[in-house]
Structures are given as C-alpha cells and as structure tokens.
C-alpha cells in the first residue's frame, strides 16, 4: 500500500500491475522449467488514460506419486492503478464477493463487501495481497494423467474371471437371504396378525351379544310405537272434533290465524281482551271530548291570526287613504297657485319692453311651468294610489268575511265528524265486548267438552312416549356400542389388512434392498472394488530384469473448465538409463530437449479439450533396484478468471466533474421556467453516469428521475473525457427563481484484468523389477524299474524382484508310467516363514484320472481366486510346494522328464487391480532334477533237507536260503509247516510256532534280517514226536515250506 511516485519504466517492472512484472515461477524439488519457460506478457499502452484493476493469483501444487496433494501454496494480488497523468481520484471503493477459499486476510475478513481504498494521486497505485487455501471448492481447471506401457510384459485379465465366480456365488447367497428374509418377516408379522385376530374374534362375539340385546329392544320399540299410534289416533279424532268446534266459534268472532292457538290460551286471551275493551270504553269517550276541544283550538289558531292580520292591514290602508287624500288636496292647491302665477307672468311679459327683462321673465315662466308639470305628475300618481288603496280596502273586507265564514264552517264540520266518529267507536267497542263475551262462553263450552278426555289420553301418550324414549335411548346406546364395536372390528380388520400389507411391503422392500445390494455388489465386483479399497491410484509399473524393455509413455493434459487455458508448458524428466527417445503430440508444440528432460510448449487448450503426448523409449535394467518413471512439471495461465472464486464486482470512485441546473424564463410567459441538468466530465478518465434525481424545493415532487442501467453491460452511459451530458427538460411556474435538490450517482470507469498462473509438479512413480528363481528336487532320486513306488517332490520359488508377487500358477507335466495324486489335501504349500497357504490354492489335474498310459498336467493356482491378498511372496522370500506322485511301471530303458513352468502375477493397478502383469519362467532342462530308474531283480533259492537227528526218534530239518542276485535282500521271513503231533526240540535261530491254516498242522516261522549278494544262510532245527513214537520221513516231507 503506498503512494510512492515511480516512472513509467519502473511501473512496467514493478509487481503491480501483476502482468507487467516478472512472473512468479514454481520452485520445488526439481527445477525442470526455467524462469524463461514460465512467463506471460500483456501489452500495456499509455495512450489512453484509465484506471486499472489487475488481479492475479499464483498457485503451486505438488502431488505425490499416488496422486495425493503433498503441498499447496497460493497467493493473490490485486493492483489498483490510477494511470492518469494529471487527475486525482478519491473515495475509491472496491466491491467484491467473499469466498471461503481465502484465508488469513484482514482485508477480506471485514464485515461487508466493500474495501475503502481512499484517494489516489496521478500515476499512483495500491496493492492488496491475500493467501489462498486449498479446499474442495478450489477447482483446478487442468487435470494431468500419465500412463506407461511396457510392451514385452504379458497381461491377463484375472479380475473378470474372479468377478464371474464371485457373481455366481453372490447370486446363490442373495437367493438364500431372500428366502430367509421372507420366513423371518412372515414369522414376525404372523404372530402380530394372530394376536390381532384374537382381539377381532372377541370383538365379534361382543357384537353378536350386543346385536341380540338390540333385537329385543327393537321389538319393545315396535310395540310402544303401535300403542302410541293408537293413542294418537284417538287424540287426533278428539282434536279434530275440538278443532271443528273451535273453527266454528273462531269463524264467528276471530281471524283464521287464531285457529293455530291453543283453546286454553285462546280463552285466556279472550278474557284479557274483554277486560281491555271494558277498560278502554271510558277512555275512548274522554279521548273524543279532548279531541274536539283540541280540534276547535287548532282551527281557531289557524284562522284567527289570518283574520286579525287582515283587519290590521285594513286599518293601515284606511289611515294611508286619509293621508293621501290630504296630500292630494295640497297638490291641487299648489297646482292652482302655479297656474295663476304663470298667467300673471304672461300678462307682465306682454307689457315688458326691455329685452333683458323679457328674457328673465321667460326663464321664470319656464321654471314655473316645469314645476307645474312635476306637481301635476305627483297629483296624478297620488290619485292612482288612492284608487288602489280603495280597492285594497274593499278586498281586505271581503277576505275577513271569507275567513270568518270558512272558520265557522270548518268548526261545524269537524264537530259533527268527531261526534259521529265517537258514536261509531263506542258502538264498535260495545259490539266487541259482546262478541268477546260470546267467544269466552263458546270456548269454555269446548274446554268442558274435550279437555278432560284429551288430557287423559295425552297423559297415557306421554307415558308411552317416555317409555319409547327410554327404549330409544337404550337402542341408541346399544347402537353406539355396536358402532364402537364395529369401528373396533373395522380397525382390527384394517390392522390385519395393514399388517398383511406391511408384511408384503416389508418383504418387497427387503427383497428390493437385497436386490439393490446385489446389484451394488455386482457393480462393485464389476468395477473391481469388492475386496479392496475404494480409491484408485496410479498403476504399478514393472521392468524385466536384464532384458531390453520397450516403453510407451502417454501423458494427457485435460482442460475440464469452460475457459481457454494458455501458455501451457510441460516438462518430463528421465533417468540416464533411458535411451532411444521418440515423441508425438496431438497439438502443435514446441519441443526443447535438454539433458534427461523433454519440455513441450503449447499455445492454448480449448475448453473441455485434451492434449495427448506420447513418448517412446527403451531401458535394460542390469541391477535389481527400483528405477524412477520420471517427474512431471506443468505450468499454465488461466486468463480472465480467478481460481479462488473471488469476484471483483466493481470499482467506484470520483474525479473532476461539473454538474449544474440550467434555468431559463420563457420569453413570452413570465414566471414560467424551462430547466435541465448538465453533467460534464472535466477529468481525463472516462466516467459512468448511473442515475439522476431532481426534486423541487419541498422535496416531495420528482422533476427528474432517470437510471442508466449501469449494471447492464452496454446499457450504461459513459462519458469520455471532456464530454457533457444534458438531461431532458422540465418546466416549473414560480415568481422567483426556482430552487431544486439534486442527487447524481456517477463513478470513474476502470478496466479489469484477471489472470491465474498455476504450476504443478507430479512426483515420479517407480518401475519395479520382477524376476523369479525356481528350484526343484525329488526326495527319492532313485526308484526301481517296473515297481510301484511313491515319489515325493519339492519345488521352491524365490522372488528375486523388488515387489511382492501376488499369485502363481505352477504347471508341471507328469509323464506316462506315472500318475498324480488327485486329492488337493495332498499338496502342501508353505511360505519361507512356515505359513501354510494351502487355503489360497486350487489344484487342477488334466486328465483327472490315474491312467498311466497318458501324460498328466498338474496346474496349481495360488492366491488367484480372490483379489486380496495382493502379496503372496514377499521380496527375497520363497514359496515351497511339496507333493507326491506315483510310479507305476517305470521303465529303466526310457528317459523321463518332469518339466515345470511358473507364472508369477503382479497387479497392474495399486488399489483396484483388474488386470495383472505376469512373467512366465521355466526351469532349464539342465537344471531339472533327474529321477534315476534302477533295474535290479532278486534271485533267491530256498531249499529244505530232512535227515536223521541225534537220537533215534529225532529228525533234523535244514533250510538253505541262497541269494544269487546282485542286491542285498532284507527282512526274509520263512514259514515251515509241521504236523500237530510233532514238537521242535531245538534250533540255531529264533523261531515262533503258531497255528496253521492247514488242518492238524502248526507253522514255525524264522526271520533273516538280510542276505548279502551271492551269500547263503542255513536254518537248522530238530523235531520229534510228542508221544514218543518213531517219526517217518515221508510224513515230514508231505508238508510245505514257504
């Protein structure tokens, strides 16, 4: 924040505006992209003076080899520049919208969404800086992917095979769960339904009991209704007769409307009416006397004032007549005197000679003549008025007589009318009294005739109705009980329906859930996530040891935003072991080849488009050690956008401007004024006019109210430097010069530039070395020809690579004359740590029989039935396979070979293995174990000789065993048979005597541990007869030797 004055050159090199200075570059563990590689420039012109808002964000990402973000740095700078050469700007406000992606910023953490920047001198700028935090809302518009293929390593999709087996197993499991779920839900709901059914049965029994009660009460109700109907019929008949009599009496004296009244009420009203009539009769007579007196008074009051007024006016007319008569006499006398004077003057005129006197005399005559004429006129008027007064007197006299006559006549008429009305009224009142007496008499007769019976029947009817009401109440209560029971029954039946419905819905829902789980698990199985973690990571990469590996790198740069990304630079590093580079790009690129590094430069990437880079190379690992795949660094510019989401809405401020109201009085219409407002931009910065408001002196009336839609681009009103705006005119009337209140909303304009520079580095992955060592041996290296024997075999497979092996397929061929053991349990598999992994194995024998006339192939699959575990043989460890096969008729003239081939599998992906790389390795012929077939045959002679013994009754028996073969013979057992009556006296070898299977004979057994080749052994023993008789040699010879 500062107001330091700097030159244009210094301004271009300063950090603000950001795009004019040296760009910020990524500096990480590697420096693949030099400062000159990451730069951007924007042409800046001083020709047009303006205010600039320049916002730039610089983001640096560092990703691990597994694609996880290791480090993030983000910084933003907003520069506000007054580029004017001479004009200040003041009260500058920056309007923005907050974002959660900015941290530790005192500027943007304040309340509100305005930043007060104060005043700017010409050619001055201010900077705002803030830190950007890494969050889920911070969307990086570029994604980068790297794939590496090693063309000479085989690949197999074990995942699909495993999935197929898992899905079959899953289907059986889900079907079993469905059946179990159905049984469980039915058992759960059926017990509830049984309980509700018990309640329902009880409620139905209560309903039957209540219905029986209701039926009995309904019968009683019908009986009571019949009794009530009978009583009502009798009452109706009586009431009809009573009504007829009532109509007769009422028809004579009352109106039809009175028929509706009760007879007793009618009697009471009639008696009251009679009393009222009798009381009213004196009042009527008195009222008519008062009325006559009042009427006479009113007539007199109406006529007497008129008569008195006429008499008064008559008296005044007579007085006026007398006065005018006297006046007429005086005027006649005056006129007579004037006539006489005129005559005398005329006589004198004739005698006058002097002309002057004649003239004076004529004038006097003329004056008197004029006066005479006036007097005669007054006399004439007075005479006319006297005539009128005379007529008026006569008329007033007539009026008085007429009024007197009318008064007397009206008094006579009114008195007669009142007298007649009085007589009529009295007669009517007396007649009403008489009729009312007769009505009362007839009513009393009707009451005496009918009321007793009617009351009796009505009492009986009320009793029956009360009984019926009680029955109806009980019926109502029973119906209410029935309704409640029925509601309960309906509720229970609905509950049973609901339970059945819930049961079906629950079964359906649970089956749907199971089906969805099945589909979900099938989907997970198909996606390779069944037995593994759910996050995919980068592929594993492998190299064959001491062989030339051909590699293809595929790098994809993907623009996932809707904005153009510019100035993309990608650097790919390789170690020194790599050679023979070739590359291709899907877009035009500039390629810079440096030591162990390729740098690709692209101008831009269209929104939602990709750029593909393909690099081919070779490597031959000569040591068993991990080799890096090579780091990647990427930089690019995202123009017209701030990745943090910070939105700069507007910059408001003021500079030099003039505004005035022009008032001009009309030439031909004074006090009428034509007015308009003038606004002029006196600065060298363009201004935006937003709104104008002009009020009259009272502040109540708007004379000008105009908004320029300043928030809609293209609709705002822009005033260039020195431009002027003149408003529409308005007119006012005022004797004085009019005064106004005005409010003008305007602001300086600005140019907004936004830019985000992003650098990211992707840590290299590694190439693992894969290699195996196979050892095989027979525990019995020699067997006899043409004899059955069991051959035990041991196979040791050692992992010589830098990564554990996931699984193995061991394939061994058993030649003819040998057969494999068919039971899987007879194949033992252990690790170098002694762990039994037989449960991870499966043995397949083709053909699956023990026919020695054909070859057999033994395939042993280890840890390939499931995705996990991913490690079978760890680094520098081995797996030992122990099994046996049988030799049936091995021929010593044949050469037998027992070849072995091992496939070792390694997951292509680290966390979701679908495909597996594998290497096949066979044991070289010269390293195959040899099974020696020994051809040896036994040549054994067993001879028996009998000769006389030491005494007469003895015989000596000699058994000769001769080994004429070239092998040692072991464990030779010799059995001889003797008659029962003969006993053994002595022997040169240990022997055993036991019963023989031959009748009347015993067996003597001898054992020789071994006889060397071409050696002989003799067994001699002596026998005699038990009873002392002499033995015959013939009898001894007849027995067998074995």
Write the DSSP assignment of 847-890 as a string of letters.
S-S--TTS-EEEEEEES-SSS----SB-TT-EEEEEEEEEESS-
At residue 665, the pLDDT reads: 92
Q: Where in the chain is the domain with CATH 2.60.40.290?
A: 941-1041
> Is pLDDT at 645 greater than 80 in this prediction?
yes
N residues, the chain: 1042
In 3D space, the residue among 55, 137, 126, 150 whose CA is nearest the CA of residue 103 turns out to be 137
Q: Where in the chain is the domain with CATH 2.60.40.1170?
A: 550-634
> Is pLDDT at 26 greater than 60 in this prediction?
no
> Is pLDDT at 955 greater than 60 in this prediction?
yes
SS3 758: strand
> Is pLDDT at 969 greater than 90 in this prediction?
no
User: CB within 8 A of 615, min separation 6: which ones?
Assistant: 552, 553, 555, 572, 581, 582, 583, 598
What is the band of 708 on the pLDDT scale with cuts at 50, 70, 90?
A: confident
Q: Is the overall model pTM greater than 0.85, yes or no?
A: no
What is the band of 250 on the pLDDT scale with cuts at 50, 70, 90?
A: low
Residue 722, phi-psi category: left (phi > 0), alpha (psi -120 to 50), beta (remainder): left
What is the band of 858 on the pLDDT scale with cuts at 50, 70, 90?
A: very high
In 3D space, the residue among 881, 644, 609, 629 whose CA is nearest the CA of residue 758 turns out to be 644
What is the band of 475 on the pLDDT scale with cuts at 50, 70, 90?
A: confident
In 3D space, the residue among 779, 799, 805 whose CA is nearest the CA of residue 791 turns out to be 779
> Is pLDDT at 655 greater than 90 in this prediction?
yes
> Is pLDDT at 42 greater than 80 in this prediction?
no
At residue 252, the pLDDT reads: 63
Q: Mean pLDDT lowest for which of 385-394, 761-770, 811-820?
A: 385-394
Instruction: Please give the order of strands across the beta sheet that includes 940-948.
Output: 940-948, 954-963, 1016-1025, 982-987
Mean pLDDT of the region 166-191: 84
> Is pLDDT at 151 greater than 90 in this prediction?
no
Q: Where in the chain is the domain with CATH 2.60.40.1530?
A: 768-934
Q: Is 1.10.8 the CATH number for 656-744?
A: no
Query: Residue 425: exposed, middle, or buried by beta-carbon count in 10 A (0-12, 13-18, 19+)?
Result: middle
Q: Which CATH number fits domain 768-934: 2.60.40.1530, 2.160.10.10, 3.50.50.60, 1.10.3720.10?
A: 2.60.40.1530
Query: Mean of the per-residue pLDDT values for the chain?
Result: 81
* Residue tagged 């170690």 (tokens): 575
At residue 847, the pLDDT reads: 92
Mean pLDDT of the region 577-602: 90
What is the band of 93 on the pLDDT scale with cuts at 50, 70, 90?
A: very high
SS3 105: coil
Just give the CATH number of 941-1041: 2.60.40.290
> Is pLDDT at 25 greater than 60 in this prediction?
no
What is the band of 44 on the pLDDT scale with cuts at 50, 70, 90?
A: very low
Q: Which CATH architecture has domain 550-634?
A: Sandwich (2.60)
Q: Mean pLDDT lowest for which of 124-133, 247-256, 672-681, 894-903?
A: 247-256
Q: Does 769 or 441 have the greater pLDDT score?
A: 769
Cβ-contact 906, 917 below 8 angstroms: yes
> Is pLDDT at 498 greater than 90 in this prediction?
no
At residue 55, the pLDDT reads: 92
* Residue tagged 């005699």 (tokens): 1024
For 538, 576, 727, the CA distances from 330, given in Å and listed in that order, are 153, 167, 92
At residue 13, the pLDDT reads: 39
Q: Does 652 or 509 have the greater pLDDT score?
A: 652
């Amino acid at each position: 924040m500062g107001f330091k004055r700097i030159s244009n050159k210094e301004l271009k090199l300063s950090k603000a505006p950001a795009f004019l200075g040296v760009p910020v570059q990524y500096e990480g563990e590697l420096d693949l992209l030099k400062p000159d590689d990451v730069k951007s420039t924007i042409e800046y012109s001083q020709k047009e003076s303006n205010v600039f808002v320049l916002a730039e964000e610089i983001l640096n990402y560092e990703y691990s080899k597994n694609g996880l973000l290791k480090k993030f740095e983000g910084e933003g700078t907003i520069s506000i520049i007054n580029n004017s050469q001479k004009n200040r700007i003041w009260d500058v406000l920056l309007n923005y919208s907050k974002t959660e992606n900015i941290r530790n910023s005192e500027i943007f953490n304040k309340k509100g969404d305005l930043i007060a920047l104060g005043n700017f001198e010409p050619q001055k700028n201010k900077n705002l800086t803030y830190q950007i935090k890494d969050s889920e809302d911070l969307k990086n518009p570029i994604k980068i992917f790297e794939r590496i293929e090693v063309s000479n390593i085989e690949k197999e999709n074990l995942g699909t095979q495993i999935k197929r087996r898992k899905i079959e197993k899953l289907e059986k499991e889900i079907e079993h769960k469905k059946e179990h779920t159905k049984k469980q839900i039915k058992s759960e709901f059926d017990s509830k339904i049984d309980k509700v059914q018990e309640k329902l049965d009880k409620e139905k029994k209560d309903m039957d009991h209540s219905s029986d009660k209701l039926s009995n009460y309904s019968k009683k109700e019908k009986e009571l209704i019949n009794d009530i109907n009978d009583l009502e019929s009798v009452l109706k008949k009586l009431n009809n007769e009573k009504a007829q009599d009532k109509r007769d009496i009422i028809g004579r004296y009352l109106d039809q409307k009175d028929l509706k009244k009760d007879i007793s009420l009618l009697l009471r009203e009639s008696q009251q009416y009679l009393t009222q009539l009798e009381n009213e009769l004196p009042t009527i007579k008195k009222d008519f006397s008062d009325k006559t007196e009042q009427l006479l008074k009113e007539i007199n009051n109406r006529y007497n004032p008129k008569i008195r007024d006429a008499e008064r006016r008559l008296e005044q007319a007579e007085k006026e007549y007398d006065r005018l008569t006297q006046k007429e006499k005086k005027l006649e006398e005056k006129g007579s005197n004037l006539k006489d004077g005129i005559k005398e003057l005329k006589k004198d005129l004739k005698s006058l000679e002097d002309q002057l006197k004649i003239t004076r005399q004529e004038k006097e005559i003329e004056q008197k003549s004029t006066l005479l004429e006036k007097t005669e006129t007054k006399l004439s008027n007075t005479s006319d008025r006297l005539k009128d007064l005379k007529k008026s007197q006569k008329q007033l006299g007539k009026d008085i007589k007429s009024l007197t006559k009318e008064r007397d006549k009206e008094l006579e008429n009114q008195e007669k009318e009142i007298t007649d009305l009085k007589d009529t009224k009295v007669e009517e009142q007396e007649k009403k009294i008489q009729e009312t007496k007769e009505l009362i008499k007839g009513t009393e007769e009707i009451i005496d005739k009918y009321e007793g019976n009617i009351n009796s029947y009505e009492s009986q009817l009320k009793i029956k109705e009360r009984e019926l009401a009680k029955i109806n109440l009980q019926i109502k209560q029973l119906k209410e009980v029935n309704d409640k029971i029925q509601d309960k029954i309906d509720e229970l039946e609905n509950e049973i329906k609901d339970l059945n419905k819930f049961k079906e819905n629950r079964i359906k829902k649970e089956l749907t859930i199971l089906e969805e789980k099945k589909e979900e698990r099938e989907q997970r199985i198909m996606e390779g996530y069944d037995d593994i973690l759910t996050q995919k990571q980068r592929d594993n990469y492998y190299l064959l040891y001491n062989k030339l590996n051909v590699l293809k790198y595929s790098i994809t740069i993907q623009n996932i935003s809707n904005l153009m990304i510019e100035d993309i630079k990608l650097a790919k590093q390789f170690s020194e072991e790599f050679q023979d580079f070739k590359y291709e790009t899907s877009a035009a690129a500039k390629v810079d080849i440096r030591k162990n590094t390729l740098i690709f430069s692209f101008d831009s990437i269209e929104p939602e488009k990709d750029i593909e880079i393909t690099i081919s190379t070779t490597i031959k690992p000569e040591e068993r050690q991990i080799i890096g795949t090579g780091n990647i660094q990427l930089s690019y510019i995202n123009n017209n956008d701030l990745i943090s989401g910070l939105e700069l809405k507007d910059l408001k401020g003021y500079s030099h401007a003039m505004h005035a109201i022009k008032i001009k009085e009309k030439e031909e219409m004074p006090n009428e004024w034509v007015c308009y407002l003038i606004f002029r931009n006196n600065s060298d910065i363009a201004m935006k006019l937003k709104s104008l408001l002009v009020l009259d002196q009272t502040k109540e009336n708007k004379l000008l109210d105009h908004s320029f839609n300043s928030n809609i681009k293209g609709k705002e009103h822009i005033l260039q430097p020195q431009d002027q705006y003149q408003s529409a005119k308005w007119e006012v009337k005022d004797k004085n010069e009019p005064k106004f209140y005005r409010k003008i909303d305007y602001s300086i304009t600005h140019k907004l530039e936004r830019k985000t520079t992003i650098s990211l580095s992707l840590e290299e992955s590694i190439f693992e070395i894969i290699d195996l060592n196979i050892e095989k041996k027979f525990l019995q290296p020699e067997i006899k020809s043409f004899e059955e024997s069991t051959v035990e075999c041991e196979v040791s497979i050692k992992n010589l690579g830098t990564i554990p092996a996931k699984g193995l397929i061991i394939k061994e061929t058993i030649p003819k004359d040998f057969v494999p053991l068919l039971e899987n349990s007879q194949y033992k598999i252990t690790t170098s740590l002694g762990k039994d992994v037989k449960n991870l194995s499966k043995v397949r024998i083709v053909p699956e029989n023990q026919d020695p006339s054909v070859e057999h192939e033994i395939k042993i699959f280890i840890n390939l039935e499931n995705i996990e575990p991913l490690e079978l043989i760890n680094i520098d460890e081995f797996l030992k396979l122990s099994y046996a096969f049988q030799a049936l008729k091995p021929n010593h003239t044949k050469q037998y070979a027992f070849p072995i081939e091992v496939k070792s599998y390694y997951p292509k992906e680290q966390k979701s293995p679908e495909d597996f790389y594998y290497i096949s390795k066979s044991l070289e012929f010269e390293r195959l174990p040899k099974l020696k077939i020994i051809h040896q045959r036994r040549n054994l002679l067993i001879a028996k000789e009998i000769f006389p013994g030491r005494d007469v009754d003895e015989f000596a028996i000699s058994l000769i065993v001769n080994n004429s073969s070239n092998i040692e013979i072991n464990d030779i057992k010799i059995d001889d048979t003797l008659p029962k009556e003969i006993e053994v006296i002595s022997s040169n070898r240990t022997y055993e005597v036991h019963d023989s299977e031959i009748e009347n004979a015993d067996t003597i057994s001898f054992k020789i541990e071994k006889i060397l080749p071409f050696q002989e052994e003799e067994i001699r023993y002596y026998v005699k007869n038990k009873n002392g008789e002499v033995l015959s040699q013939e009898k001894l010879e007849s027995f067998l030797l074995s």
